[in-house]
Amino acid sequence: MTQANAITLLLVDDSRVARLSLMRQIKSLTAEFDILQAASADEAQQLLTEQDADIALIDFNMPGRDGLVLAAELRESHPNMRMALVTANIQQPLVERAKELGMAFMGKPTNVDDLASFLRVTP
């Protein structure tokens, strides 16, 4: 059920365990979130045809299109969506490419303080 003041967050990661871990951290924060989950770029795009999201947390390594390709597509179709690349693949060229797309960058495993800072909420 959608909360009136809730922030809609799109969580895109092919790992169910990673999604569950992020959801646990997000639910520990003080703000209300409606969380949409997708296991691939295609699934994320399909979800966004049905519902808008304010924020997206996107993994890099996924089957099919990677997280940066998805982010570039979302930047075109949803220019006001705040996005962060959330990945264990911490290489400087990847960080730089994310920043070029206007994304924040968070390494896995994430921590609640970094997540709260990106989401602009109190931990």
**Residues 20-59 pLDDT 10s:** 999 999 999 988 999 999 999 999 999 999 999 999 999 9
Q: What are phi and psi of 39, to 5 degrees?
A: -100, 0
Residues in a beta bridge with 84? 57, 104
- Tell me, yes or no, whether 2 lies in a domain: no
- Say if 14 falls within a structural domain: yes
Instruction: Determine the structural domain holding residue 100 and report its residue range.
Output: 7-119
Note whether residue 30 is domain-resident: yes
109 domain residue, yes or no = yes
Establish if 39 belongs to a structural domain: yes
Q: Is residue 64 part of a domain?
A: yes
Q: In the chain, pLDDT over 70 holds for what percent of residues? A: 96
Confirm whether pTM is higher than 0.85: yes
Task: Name the average pLDDT for the chain.
Answer: 92
| Secondary structure (3-state) at 9 | strand
Residue 4 is predicted with a pLDDT of 56
- The DSSP bridge partners found for residue 38 are 12
Residue 1 falls inside a structural domain: no
Q: Is residue 54 part of a domain?
A: yes
Domains in the chain, number: 1
pLDDT at 110 over 70: yes
Give the domain CATH number at 78: 3.40.50.2300
